[in-house]
Amino acid sequence: MLYCADIYAPDNTRMQPPEKSSILDTLSTLEGFADMGATDIEHLVEISEYTLLDAGTQVFREGDASDGRAYIILSGRVEILIGDSAVTTIESGAIFGEYALISDENRTATAITVEPTECLILGQEPMRLLASEYPHINAMMLSRIKENITHHRGAFADM
């Protein structure tokens, strides 16, 4: 079931999370997810946690212990850093922190929001349960994770 962390406006009043249908609509239009069927996207959303992060939020830091969570950006941008060097800035549709879904190793980069950013958070255990029930969704997600890791390793080598 979709869980929503408490969301607060800049004036510190609690905001209502978006409707599930709004999240489904957004995710279905993002690159890498548009080719998934509506039912598959719904299963993915149901095991996710929605959060809205303020600009400048450090999502995790290089060297932090893995918490088994990865993030799908629904809107906004996140800067990925290795040491003090920005490696890339990613936006809507990107997955980051994905290595935590398949490994318990420490975080290999720092992730900081550049602007207010909406994310779905995927946990390691819910992903395992989804994988056992819907292996084709797991195969799609693992393919995305593999592409991201391969792409980022190339970027790290250029540093």
Helix (H, G, I), strand (E, B) or coil at 93: coil
Going by the DSSP 8-state scheme, the letter that residue 1 receives in this structure is -
Instruction: Tell me the average pLDDT across 78-89.
Output: 94
Joined tokens for residue 64 = 């932090």
Cα dihedral 83→96→142→17 (10° resolution)? 160
Q: At what angle do helices 135-157 and 38-46 cross, to 10 degrees?
A: 80
The per-residue pLDDT for range 108-150, each reduced to its tens digit, is 999 999 999 999 998 888 888 877 887 777 777 777 777 777 7
Give the SS3 label for residue 131. helix
- As a whole-number percent, the residues of the chain with pLDDT over 90 amount to 34
Q: Check: CB of residue 93 under 8 Å from CB of residue 73.
A: yes
Q: What are the domain boundaries of the chain?
A: 3-157
Question: What are φ and ψ of residue 82, in 5° steps?
Answer: -115, 120
The CATH code of the domain at 3-157 is 2.60.120.10
pLDDT at 155 over 60: no
60: three-class secondary structure by DSSP: strand
Tell me how far apart the alpha carbons of residues 42 and 91 are, in angstroms, rounded to a whole number.
21
Mean pLDDT on 55-60: 95
User: pTM for this structure?
Assistant: 0.81
Q: What is the C-alpha to C-alpha distance for residues 53 and 57, in angstroms, rounded to an integer?
A: 6
Does residue 108 contact residue 60 with C-beta atoms inside 8 Å? no
